[in-house]
Structure formats: structure tokens, C-alpha cells
Structure 1
Amino acid sequence: MACSRFSFGLLCGVLVILVWASAAQLAHAARRYPYLGMEVQVKGFDRQPLQTQRPFNIAHRGSNGEIPEETAEAYVRAIAEGADFIESDITATKDGKLICFHDLVLDFVTDVADHAEFADRIRTYEAEGETVTGYFSVDFTLEELKTLRARQRFAFRDKSYNDKFQIVTFEEFISIALNSERIVGIYPEIKSPVFVNKHVKWPDGKTHEDIFVETLLKFGYGGKYLSKEWKDKPLFIQSFAPTSLIHASNLTDSPLILLLDNATSVTQDTNQTYAEITSDEYLKFISKYIVGLGPWKDTVVPPDVNNYLSAPTDLVARAHALNLQVHPYTFRNEYEYLHFDFHQDPYQEYSYWIHNVSVDGLFTDFVGTLHLYQQWTSPLN
């Protein structure tokens, strides 16, 4: 349903109310929670449950369309704007601490290059089929990383929050969700496990995957999808590495999501092509361990050379036939990411993916935009 079908007055009225509410929630959250180093405080009272009536609004690295990605402030903002899940990439430090950070290197979204004391930390490693040079998080202790400040990744986004916010730990990320005034799920990724396990020395012969799951268990996460335990603390564990998910399935009954890269990539752990891991045979095999797929959206509905969409592939239908959910990534408001079919209107894009492609969740950089669209088109009971 296109946004133009709604009356302008109603649209503006809803927008004002929701923006005011989001601002008020964010301000309250900022007063109530110190973000970093906080303990879980929300106990012993009922909170608004996670909605399960419509596709999940997944805050990709927080509300990073507005605020530097994977910071506490980006996650708090995403919750205020209506996220069902907050999503993060979980990698590690030199001293084996788990942190929320997408890249292997710190160069693109922190001020590390401005720190003269770290000038000698530049390294070159082979990582996921490429030769990468930069400041790697695995060469820094957590204490050192806490001295850095986050920056906006994209030049065309607001930079007024640059150099203000810290890198956060996995435990701090979890605490943000558990301290929210309604139940908010978490959607952490076992990030680059092959590289991380090669460069980080874990205690007692453990692995990145082991420490990752142990952290979740420490905070009481567990339970099959839609079980009472899961609804109390909603969680999806995601990874591009199939063997990491299979390993995790032996440690927890929490639902797992296999991420799918672009059509020319191979898996970092098993060296399988996109065609191999999306074949009927492989999907049937991996469905014994996972509850869903997280594909790049341009592999689900490929664009043509003129930036118009081609016909959808059958991936969603084949996944649904195996009772697998599909949560594509990444939805962004800017014109650089909108195909011409949508006339530069992100609401039309959401309408297409929800109603035509029938996905079960969407990774978005702009949580508020998706939330407003869903509130207008499928308000919760």
C-alpha cells in the first residue's frame, strides 16, 4: 500500500505523535541508564511483550542512519524509535573481550588514526579472501579501544555525533536491551569467526563461538523460537559461517540464522558458493540447525543494469517451504540505495518487500521509517 493513499493530515498527525514519543523515550532512557558498564536493572515487573504479528523491525547496528553505528546511543535511539530487535556484530579484542563492531579494522568508523600512541599498530593480514591493511581490533585491548570514539561511516549522513561515543562490549549491548522499558530482542552475529579464532587466544582451548554463547547464557538467554523463554528474552543468533552455527546449535537451543552474502562470495569457513548454500539440498540440510536466512536483498530480487528490479528469485518460497524465515538486509532511506521502481520512496520499498516478497523481518538503518510504515499499514492490536 503506497504512502500516498493515506490522508496528509493523518500522516502528519501520526508523525508528530510518534516523533514526540520517540524523543521523550530517548530522553528518558538517557536519564535512566548510564549506557556503559551498567548492570541489568529491569526485574520483577511486566513489560510490553515483543510483537509477533508483523515482520520484525531489526535495527541494523542500531539506528545508524542517524547516530554512529553500534554505539550505545544508536541502540537506545533504535529502541525509542520502535525496533523489535537491535542487531550487532560481535568480534573480539586482543585480550579476548567481546565487542560490538562490524569491521575487522577500526579505520573507517573511529578516530583511531588521530591517536599518535597507536601509530605503530597498523598491520596487514589475510582475511576472508582479501589482503587487508589497517588498525585491527584484535591488536588492541578493551581498555585501549575504550579510548577511541565512533564516527559516522557514510559521508552523506549526519556527522554531528562524531567523536562522542565509545565502542561498547557485548555485555553492555545485552544490558541495553534488558534495561529497556518494553521487551526488545537482540540479534548478535558471530562475526568473522575464522579470522577472530586465528588471532585471539581464548582460555581453556575455547573458541569465539564458545565465549559468544557463554555470554548469552550468563544473561539468561535460551529457548526455542516463540517459546515462553524466548519471548521473555528474544534472541536470534546470526552468522555467515555455517560451521559456527552448527557448533552453536550444540551449545544452545536459541534460534539461529544463516546469513547469505552476495552471489559471487564464498563462505569464510567452508568455501562454498552462494549457489551451493542456497541449493535445495543444502537448505534442507541446514534447516535442521537454523530457523531462517538473512540474505542480501539484491540476491533475493536482483536489480538490472538500469537500477530497476528484476523478477524475484524463488529463495523466499523455497525457504518458507522448509519453515525457514527470511530476514533480508539492508534497507536504507537514501536515494543511493533505492531502486527506481520505488520513486525514491522508502515506504514503497517496504510495501513491496512485505506484501509482494513476503519477508518475515527486515534489517534497516532507519528504524523509525519502518516503524511508521508498519504503524500506518498494520497497527498492532
Structure 2
Amino acid sequence: MEEKVRRWVRADFGVGLASLDEVPRGAGRDGGAGRLWHGRGEDGAGYAVRLGAGGPAAGLRAAGQAAAHGVPGVPGPLRDRRGQWWSVRTGRRLSVRPWVEGVPGGTGPVEPGHWRAFGRLLAAVHATPVPDGLPPARRPGPMADAVRAVDRWLLRGPGAERHDPLERALAGLWREMAGPIGALLARAGAPPPAAEPGDPVLCHGDPGPGRLLLGAGAAEVWLLGWSGAVRAPREQDLVAVLELTPDQREAFFAGYGPVELDPGRVEHFRTVRALEELAVPAARVLDRAGLPEPERAAALETVRQVLAGAAGRADRASAGPSRGARDPSPSG
């Protein structure tokens, strides 16, 4: 397969590869689907070569647009010989981008300089013209339906009395946290806030620490994992930042610059994010046929952390609004 991919890359992108090594599944570094290779060009340059598994091409369009407009820290895809961000081989998208080295933000220490650089990077992304073909902001409905499906299977489905140990643990946690889950689903039914004309910007979709790669310098940050890119109000991205510690948020907004966020949109996109963070790992726990037990156990721990955070937010809300709750972001 590697030899075939090398021929395709040369024919489609004009890049000769001296070597091509597949990156194991789960270590893909940028959260994309399909198969990923680390290529070494004949000129010594490194490349990430991906043969996609289908799905929307929004991420390639968004990353390509951001890189083409000079956004620092976005390793955008190369254009093929037709001027497109990808070519098509065997019915799948083939893309090539520069390979970047660094420490994953979800595992390494992120210093204040990194947060400031990340703020500058995301501000530049939001100032980039939105490319054609990007989907609109995500709505809570599909993920709320997924959470309800998990609820039915765990508590009322045909296997309700025959769970394996991980399913039993998930079912117990689900019962224990029925209040926060119900509150989250209730918020999902609220109508989305209206967006003023011109509000939607180019959004990464999930710019959390796990999507960052920290370079050698304290101000070098790469933002990867663009598959969820959307055309949305900036609150879509910034809800991820509002989950950081106060010191981290202060450093981020020192780089991002003054911004005034709409509290209604913040709550809306927090709900969307929380539903997705709950539904996806819960489904992984239930995937006995497709996933090994260690991955399912890790997903169970993710569900536990998400529900603990949801319970904490509910407790803070029941205690009454605070100054921070009324003013969710710095304005200067």
C-alpha cells in the first residue's frame, strides 16, 4: 500500500517521498479518520499523508484557507495539480500537509507563552474569510438524541440486566447522575440564540488542549484536528477556552485580544459541547464488538469526568449567579 500511496502523492501533488511510515491507529496526532503516514520527502522535508475515510471535507478547506491567509500555527494541506486541497483515490480523499513536531498539549505542560500564542492563533483563524462549503454551527439535537439512545439502552433496553462490568459501571454512573443528564437534555431543547448578520466566522470547532501541539519555543503552538470546522459565531470555539483555569484564560485572552461574548450563545454552545463529550465516549463504552477493553475503560473514565463537571456546573447554577457567570469572558 505504501508504494501505491507514494506514486499517488508524486502524481497528484508533485512531491517525491523517499520514505513512508504508517502512524498506528490512535496515535494519529490530529484526530482525523482514515490512514495516516509520516512521509519523508526526497528533499528531507516531513509530510503527513492521509487517505481519508470519507465524511465532510470541511477540515481540509478550513485548514487550507487559514494557512493560505498566513495564520501561524496551522499546517494547511498542499494543493494538488488541479489547485484543490485534496485528490481522490479509490473513492477516498488523499491529502498531504507539512509534518510538524511537538509535544501534545493534552500531555505536556502548557506554559503561559503557549496560551498567549494560542490566543493569537485563534484570533487569526476567526479573522480569516470563511471558505465556501463549511457547514453551519452544530446544533444540540443529534447529540441529545444519541444521549437519549444511551439512556434507553442502559436503563430500559433488552440488555439492561445483562451488562458486562464496564456496562454495569456506566449504568450505575448514569443512574447516579440522572439529574445533571436530565438538566443537560432539557437545555438541549431550548431554541438557539439568534446570530446577527456577519457574526459567523471560521471556527475550528473543538480547539481544546488536546488539539494543540507545543513546539520547541514557548510561543510555538500548532492547532491540529480540523475535521469539525464550521461556520459559526466565535462562541462555538471560545467555550472550550472558558473551561480553562483563570490563569490560563487570562494568558489566552492576552493573546486573543478584547472580546465581548454573548451569554446566551455561550450557554448554547456549552450545551452542544457537553452533549458531544458525553455521547461519544458513552457509545465507546458500549461498543463491545469494536473496541478493546482498555479503550472502553478509558472512555468510561471520560464519561465520569464529563458528568462530574456537569454536576459542578449545576451546583454553581443553583447557588445563584456570580459575577463570573454574568460576564463569561474578559472584555479587555
Q: Shorter-chain-normalised TM-score: which range?
A: under 0.3
Counting helix residues as a fraction of each chain, which structure ranks higher? Answer: 2
Q: TM-score, normalised by structure 2?
A: 0.26
Normalised TM-score (structure 1)? 0.24
